Structure 1
Amino acid sequence: MKDQPATVIGGSASGQSHQVASTMQAVVQDGYGTSDVLRVAEIARPVIGPREVLVEVRAAGLDRGTWHLMQGKPRLLRLVFGLRSPKQPVIGRDVAGVVVEVGTEVTAFAVGDEVFGVAPGSVAEYAVAREDKLAHRPATVTWEQAAVVPISGGTALQAVVDAGRVAAGQKVLVIGASGGVGSYAVQLAKAAGAEVTGVASAAKADLVRALGADHVLDYAVDDIADGTRHYDLIIDIAGLCELSRLRRALTPRGTLVLVGGEGGGDWTGGTMGRQLRARLSSAFSGQRLTSVIAQERGADYVRLAALLESGQVVPSLERAYPLAETVDAMRHLEAGRVRGKIAVTARSGA
């Protein structure tokens, strides 16, 4: 990655602050593509608005969402994030760090607070976050662990607890159990008292068991719809299984929750059509088929913080990379080899 200047547009003036640098190191992209579009650049530090805070980044999380935004795929994403190149050139959204400046209308946080949540452009030394997309960092987790919780953990919470309505004693199937969202989905279902079966590759079966799964199926060998077992709740994160097979694996009154998914068309990724078909099928069946489009909410991160503090949820962090090695981290993610989550540390020794 070559160091070149880039421009980041900031907001309005701020309130409480302490002295911070006017420039920073960040990982940026000037266009869409593979990890080769990424580079480290010295850029202007972003400016906060009245309801925003400036976070000195200690660690940032990387996930499939970051990869999709880097690629600009599915292409419908570009209508929101930029047609030819990203409106936000700095990659990353998950963040953990220390508040160093607060906007004039911020009431929930003060300079010096340790926080985690969502801040677009988090793979940098500083990032701006909205007040309503942060929570206080639990003392029981490291910076790197906190940084890999918000988006994946929040998505899992919305899928398993809110949409799935998981309950004690239920049989729950998590497809894609070894990934970012899946690793939290398994733990959240177990925390609710469910019997959990995780679907993953054979190479990651040990990880899924370590997360607390009672049973593990190899997606390349085991058939989830062979009729030998039925589930009250299925959380499908991988998105590669036909709806008819998922329905056969459900109990007659069971619930299926679709969470994103890979594959499909270049424009929509196949997700939108699949979710629409699921909802239409649900209207004519005793089974409840629904989907989750994840929301970034500080209130969810507060809920997750309580679970982290109690030890019911532990972030599955494979490793952390220094900022200068972000390209290597993204290549590892692209290859599908990540077990759980990976992070980037913005500051050495943080």
Structure 2
Amino acid sequence: MRIPATMFAIVTTGNGGYDKLEAQQVPTPVPAAGEVLIRVGAAGVNNTEINTRLGWYSKTVTSSTDDTAASTSDDQKADGGWNAATPFPLIQGTDCCGTVVQGPPELLDKRVIVRACMRPDGFDTYDNIWMASDFDGAFAQYVKVPLTEVFAVNCDWTDAELATIPCAYGTAETMLERAKVSAGDRVLVTGASGGVGSAAVQLAKRRGAQVVGVASGAKADLVAGIGADQVCDRGSDLIGLLGENAVDVVIDNVGGEGFGQMLQLLRRGGRYASSGAIAGPIVALDLRDMYLKDITLFGSTAWDAPVFPNLIRYIEAGEIRPLLAKTFDLADIAQAQDAFLQKAHFGNFVLIPPA
């Protein structure tokens, strides 16, 4: 097929509000040796794109993602990205489903998803780079990525459904791997109606765990519908509802004021894994809750080697399902991100670039 010289893209020009999201015609990327070019079919909306635009990862930010979004500042933050400064201008878009249009013959015209978290120095080190944070991503008609990070998928899902998978499910599966979740574990998942949380509920149930989800009461039935054995209202007293020493594992990307009771809920020898802190990154930790109960804390950013092959296998075997809340045209990205921050949806929002 003929590859156009330029393409439509949403370019993030710096830290700040929605005005930093500019629709532009930019040169179509040209893959180098060891890279492929993908025509983007769909690209997911995640906290990470919003947080990177806002510079939320900077140590100068101590509030929740909601509070940061409500008070956007144009101050450019030298440590506002995953790996120090974000290389603005940048095409964001961590979640990508598309079709290979330039690459090795065995992949041409194949539908693929992209492993956005890349370990260029191998899986023996946690050093990593991220598509859409360290180099241009999928909020465009085309994206180029290393061949090693492209995974063909054989299923009947739509492009939009597949675009719900990479970031949310990759993050959730990594936390479950790190915490060694297995059959018989009782697992508490905070933010269970969000992208990562709802993925964690499904993936933990797939492993045979008993799952307790924490979500707003309005979404309790939805969380139960994807496998949670029990759903607790996020504003409730979890210690009062469940009791201390009630769970084996906590999977948490919320943080904030509720962090302290997470360790109280864990049994002796329990495991806590975190991939984010949407309610706030600064938390109160009573070290006695940790060391007297022999609790292990896992930070989780870099995806481990088995994670993405596992996800492809789960999809093709029909062991997980996509949770597509709504699609938007790529040009309507500001509307999509604003709706995302309202947290009235269940599952994932996805952007569709022009054909």
- TM interval, shorter chain, is 0.7 to 0.9
* Identity level (%): 29
Distance in 2 between residues matched to 1:209 and 1:295, nearest whole Å: 27
Query: How many residues end up aligned between the 2 structures?
Result: 315
Q: Is 1:24 the equivalent of 2:7?
A: yes
| TM-score after normalising by structure 1 | 0.82
The one of 320, 326, 333 equivalent to 2:327 is: 320
> Measured at CA, do residues 79 and 114 of structure 1 come closer, stay the same or move farther in structure 2, by a change above 3 Å?
closer
The one of 105, 110, 123 equivalent to 2:107 is: 110
Most deviating of 174-183 and 302-311? 302-311
> Measured at CA, do residues 263 and 302 of structure 1 come closer, stay the same or move farther in structure 2, by a change above 3 Å?
same
Taking the TM superposition and a 5 Å limit, the aligned residue runs for 1:73-84 are: 73-75=56-58, 77-78=79-80, 83=85
Distance in 1 between residues matched to 2:84 and 2:27, nearest whole Å: 20
Distance in 2 between residues matched to 1:213 and 1:73, nearest whole Å: 31
Q: Is 1:94 the equivalent of 2:121?
A: no
Q: CA deviation at 1:156?
A: 0.4
Distance in 2 between residues matched to 1:145 and 1:26, nearest whole Å: 21
Q: Is 1:184 the equivalent of 2:199?
A: yes
Distance in 1 between residues matched to 2:304 and 2:148, nearest whole Å: 9
What do residues 14-67 of structure 1 show as CA deviations (whole Å, max 9, x unaligned)?
xxxx42011000111212112232121111111222121110000001110111
Most deviating of 179-188 and 68-77? 68-77
Q: Is 1:302 the equivalent of 2:309?
A: yes
Q: CA deviation at 1:116?
A: 0.4
Distance in 1 between residues matched to 2:84 and 2:209, nearest whole Å: 42
Aligned to 1:135: 151
* Partner-residue secondary structure (3-state), 1:172: strand
Q: CA deviation at 1:99?
A: 0.5
Contact in 1 for aligned 2:252/2:275 (Cα 8 Å): yes
Q: CA deviation at 1:128?
A: 1.2
Q: CA deviation at 1:316?
A: 1.0
The one of 42, 58, 64 equivalent to 2:41 is: 58
> Measured at CA, do residues 79 and 64 of structure 1 come closer, stay the same or move farther in structure 2, by a change above 3 Å?
closer
Paired letter, 2:347:
G
Paired letter, 2:183:
A
Q: Is 1:125 the equivalent of 2:141?
A: yes
Q: Is 1:33 the equivalent of 2:16?
A: yes
> Measured at CA, do residues 159 and 80 of structure 1 come closer, stay the same or move farther in structure 2, by a change above 3 Å?
closer
Aligned to 2:301: 293
* Partner-residue secondary structure (3-state), 2:91: coil
Q: CA deviation at 1:252?
A: 1.6
Q: CA deviation at 1:242?
A: 4.3
> Measured at CA, do residues 141 and 213 of structure 1 come closer, stay the same or move farther in structure 2, by a change above 3 Å?
same
| TM-score after normalising by structure 2 | 0.81
Listed as ranges, the gaps of 5+ residues in structure 2 are 60-78, 117-130
Contact in 2 for aligned 1:278/1:289 (Cα 8 Å): no
Distance in 1 between residues matched to 2:57 and 2:142, nearest whole Å: 28
> Measured at CA, do residues 242 and 204 of structure 1 come closer, stay the same or move farther in structure 2, by a change above 3 Å?
closer
> Measured at CA, do residues 79 and 303 of structure 1 come closer, stay the same or move farther in structure 2, by a change above 3 Å?
closer
Aligned to 2:255: 239
Contact in 2 for aligned 1:32/1:86 (Cα 8 Å): no
Contact in 2 for aligned 1:116/1:135 (Cα 8 Å): yes
Q: CA deviation at 1:236?
A: 1.2
Distance in 1 between residues matched to 2:252 and 2:110, nearest whole Å: 36
Listed as ranges, the gaps of 5+ residues in structure 1 are 1-17
The one of 195, 214, 225 equivalent to 1:210 is: 225
Distance in 2 between residues matched to 1:155 and 1:238, nearest whole Å: 14
Aligned to 2:128: none
* Partner-residue secondary structure (3-state), 2:155: coil
Distance in 1 between residues matched to 2:54 and 2:153, nearest whole Å: 30
